[in-house]
Amino acid sequence: MGWKISRISTSLMGLLRETEKDSPQELERIRSGIVDCIARYMNDHNEQRAVWRKVLYAPDIQTLWYLRSDVMHLLSDHCGEPLASEKIQALTEMFRGHIPAAQFASAQRRS
């Protein structure tokens, strides 16, 4: 039950945050970082295509933030968890200043 409350409160906080809309350049910079990571460490697998499409069509930075878990799972399966974790930590830094600080802090606690 606690995870449901957490997920709802996180969603509400995302809706209520009063920051400026992220620039298209920042969205594309982060998107490119994720796509480059997938391309560099993956061969042509069906799972890669599915995650790749999600990343390419993500409408905003918040959606890309949540897709990190898909990328982590994909990389872990094919490259091992230590490398995947290292790459996700690097990608996570790209989001600094673009997502609510509370979300960023919880991501750091999990690693």
Q: Are 42 and 70 in contact (CB under 8 A)?
A: no
Buried b (16+ CB within 10 A) or exposed e, 35-61: eebbeebbeeeeebeebbebbeebeeb
Q: Where are the domains of the chain?
A: 24-110
- Which of the residues in the chain have pLDDT under 70? 1-21, 43-46, 105-111
Q: What is the pLDDT of residue 6?
A: 55
Q: What is the pTM of this model?
A: 0.72
